Structure 1
Amino acid sequence: MDDTDQKLISALRHDARASLSDLALLLGVSRTTVRARIERLRRAGEIIGFTVVLKEDALADPVRGLMMIGIEGRGADRIIRQLSGLSAVRGVHSTNGRWDVIAEIGTATLEEFDDILARIRRFDGVATSETSLLLNTRKSARS
């Protein structure tokens, strides 16, 4: 992936509906080049899809946070499945280092947020956790 591909991906993250003409102008290449690069990135699996973010999606989670989870034993797959089944969990990430899994959580109220944290802490195999509330998002793949 070269610098032009990186710029193309950045532009698509900002506006996935940008026209080929606008992208070509921004990148200083032809529309045909933009089309070919997008197709190549899709075939290579670098771009796996496009999405729409609705205003209501952004407003739906006024309380958001990241819960870092330490898992004892070999229960990571089971806990990831359990986390994925919770409607308040917006994302689940495996990681290295001190924490085994990071869960992105979004709720309407602090009380709901506290309830979901308590529920997750009761999962069999969750040894430790640490949670940080997200105060402000300056850049997101969704925006």
Structure 2
Amino acid sequence: MDDIDRKLISALRHDARASLSDLAMDLGVSRTTVRGRIERLRQRGDIVGFTVVLQEETKTDPVRGLMLIGIEGRGTERIIRQLHGLKAVRAIHSTNGRWDLILELGTQTLDELDEVLGQIRRLDGVSTSETNLLLSTKKAG
């Protein structure tokens, strides 16, 4: 992957619906070059798909937290399936070390967050947890 490929990917991340002409103009290459590079990046698996981001998904939840969960036994997959059904669960990460899962949570109020924490703690197999509120974001992915 060269500098043009990286700039193309950056431009597509900003606007995946940009026309080949606009991308070519921004990168200083021909439309044919842009088309060929996109196709090559897709065939190699560097680009695995395109997606739609809804406006509501760009809004930050007023109350956000990270919940670290310890699971007893072999119920991790079952618990992950149950967590997928909770609206406040924004992401589920498996990890190593003391905790089995790290959840990113988002709600409108502290009361809602408290309710979600209670629901998660009551799941069969959740043995321990720790939650930290996120106060501000200094850099987002």
* Percent identity of paired positions between Structure 1 and Structure 2: 73
By how many angstroms is 1:88 displaced? Answer: 1.6
In structure 1, the gaps of 5 or more residues are: none
- SS of residue paired to 1:118: helix
Q: Distance in 2 between matches of 1:32 and 1:99?
A: 50
81-90 or 129-138: which moved more? 129-138
Q: Distance in 1 between matches of 2:11 and 2:54?
A: 19
By how many angstroms is 1:119 displaced? Answer: 0.9
What count of residue pairs does the alignment treat as equivalent? 141
- SS of residue paired to 1:83: helix
Q: Tell me whether 1:119 sits opposite 2:112 in the alignment.
A: no
Q: Distance in 1 between matches of 2:36 and 2:89?
A: 36
RMSD: 2.6
By how many angstroms is 1:101 displaced? Answer: 1.7
109-118 or 52-61: which moved more? 52-61
Q: Name the amino acid aligned to 1:105.
A: L
Q: Distance in 1 between matches of 2:55 and 2:84?
A: 23
Hey, what does 1:134 align to over in structure 2? 134
- SS of residue paired to 1:69: strand
Contact 1:60 1:108 in 2 (8 A): no
Structure 1 stretches of at least 4 aligned residues deviating more than 6 Å after TM superposition: none
Q: Distance in 2 between matches of 1:130 and 1:3?
A: 43
By how many angstroms is 1:138 displaced? Answer: 5.3
TM score, norm. by length of structure 2: 0.77
Hey, what does 1:80 align to over in structure 2? 80
By how many angstroms is 1:2 displaced? Answer: 4.1
Q: Distance in 1 between matches of 2:136 and 2:41?
A: 32
68-77 or 25-34: which moved more? 25-34
Hey, what does 1:11 align to over in structure 2? 11
Hey, what does 1:27 align to over in structure 2? 27
Q: Name the amino acid aligned to 1:29.
A: V
Hey, what does 1:91 align to over in structure 2? 91
Q: Are the structure 2 counterparts of residues 40 and 68 from structure 1 closer, same or farther at C-alpha, using a change threshold of 3 Å?
A: farther
In structure 2, the gaps of 5 or more residues are: none
TM score, norm. by length of structure 1: 0.76
